[in-house]
Amino acid sequence: MASKELLDLLNKSIARELQVSIQYMWQHVQWRGVKGFAVKDVLKSIGVQEMKHAEAIAERLVYLGGVPTTKPEPIFVGASLREMLEQDAKDEEGAIKLYKTVMSVALKEGDETTAHLFRDILADEEDHHDTFTSLLEEL
């Protein structure tokens, strides 16, 4: 069975995914200006991906005997497109670090399935980070 440490990391991951899925969706609906128009669909698409991550992690957590949190990490929408994208890039950096930790703990416990799940999610998060940092280059 999974350790309390791993279950807690999965719940922290869910809270983060809930945070950014709401954050990116609200940024999608609150964008302003020509540059905002150019990224609004990207924000929506990534927000939907993040919600799917939350669902997959929650399913794994329940399988391992845990109860998924319903409380997101603090949400920051931002007042400008630059603020939004800077925060989003920072949040993706945090996710990358967290998910590497989850993978390490899962592998230490012999939980290949959780490690595989997070390997796939990590690839998405690195892509999101690349997207946000690339968009910032044009602002």
Digit-coded pLDDT (tens) for 10-51: 999 999 999 999 999 999 999 888 888 889 999 999 999 999
Q: Using an 8 Å Cβ cutoff, are 24 and 50 in contact?
A: yes
Mean pLDDT of 64-77: 97
- Report the number of distinct structural domains present in the chain: 1
Cα angle for residues 117, 122, 125 (degrees, 5° grid): 135
CATH number at residue 92: 1.20.1260.10
Considering the entire predicted model, what is its pTM? 0.95
Provide the domain limits for residue 81.
Answer: 4-137
- C-alpha to C-alpha distance for 89 and 76, rounded to whole angstroms: 12
Exposed e or buried b per residue across 31-51, where buried means at least 16 C-beta atoms within 10 angstroms of its C-beta:
beeebbeebbebbbebbebbb
Predicted confidence (pLDDT) per residue in 81-130, tens digit: 999 999 999 999 999 999 999 999 999 999 999 999 999 999 999 999 99
What's the mean pLDDT in 66-85? 96
> Which carries the bigger pLDDT value, residue 1 or residue 118?
118
Does the pLDDT value for residue 138 go beyond 80?
no
